[in-house]
Amino acid sequence: MSDLDDSPAGEAKDEPQRSKGRKTLSREAWIAAAREAFETGGISSVKIDRLARLLRVTRGSFYFHFSSLQDLHDGLMNVWRASNCAPFLKLQDAKDIDGVQFFSDIVHVWVDENPFSPRLDLAVREWSRRDATVAREIKDIDTLRIDLLVRAFLAMGYSDDESTVRARLTYFHQIGQYALSFEEDQDIRKRYQPIFGDVLLGPLVEQPEHLRVL
């Protein structure tokens, strides 16, 4: 039976009646394993049989927690929404913002990676290339993140058009680093941070020392 076959083939619902000592797993454990496979090999790597072998359990264990492979996919999306979307949605409600501080708050979601996950974001973005529903969600969160940055630049005193361009440059810079898996020595990164800040925030504002985050 293919992993893409969502039917439990009659073996799922009897899983609670396990013999003593047989390994059991939670729904969260399945999602965690699926996430690792997803981030490493894409959505095509999230297969029921493959995960069951990895976790050393039967397919029945899967169907005890999930109604279908799509149900597991939905679980992965919920993890992404909680870690990579919710922090930005929370910022959306901010009132009477200080532009530089708001910019710092946005960037810190990416930089702190708590709970934001670059690997998960890239995996979902790649998935969106083949799934229209996922693509709509990616488009929505991209729009939200850029809109938040636009608000920050507007609050700094830039015009509508310049705020939009600066927001896009900031966002494309951040996503581009993830997409390229770009890494460099921390000392070099720290040396460049104030320059990035001056380029992205100047000339109307100077990045305060305590907010140097890029």
In terms of Cβ atoms closer than 10 Å to its own Cβ (0-12, 13-18, 19+), residue 182 is exposed
Q: 10 Å Cβ neighbour count for 177?
A: 14
pTM to 2 decimal places: 0.84
Residues 6+ apart with CB under 8 A from 37: 45, 46, 47, 50, 51, 54
Q: What is the pLDDT of residue 185?
A: 82
Q: What is the pLDDT of residue 21?
A: 43
Q: What is the pLDDT of residue 18?
A: 43
Which regions in the chain score pLDDT beneath 50? 1-7, 9-21
For the chain, the maximum distance between any two Cα atoms, rounded to a whole number of angstroms, is 70
Structure tokens at 58: 């039967």
Cis, peptide link before residue 115, omega less than 30° from 0: yes
Q: What is the pLDDT of residue 2?
A: 40
pLDDT in tens, 152-209: 999 999 999 999 999 999 999 999 988 998 887 878 877 887 888 888 898 888 666 5
Q: What is the pLDDT of residue 193?
A: 77
Q: What is the pLDDT of residue 145?
A: 98
Element (H, E) at 132: helix 132-156
Q: What is the pLDDT of residue 56?
A: 95
Euclidean distance between CA atoms 149 and 155, whole angstroms:
10
Q: What is the pLDDT of residue 92?
A: 96
Q: What is the pLDDT of residue 209?
A: 59
Q: What is the pLDDT of residue 165?
A: 97
Going from N- to C-terminal start, the domains of the chain cover 1-67, 76-209
- CATH class, range 1-67: mainly alpha
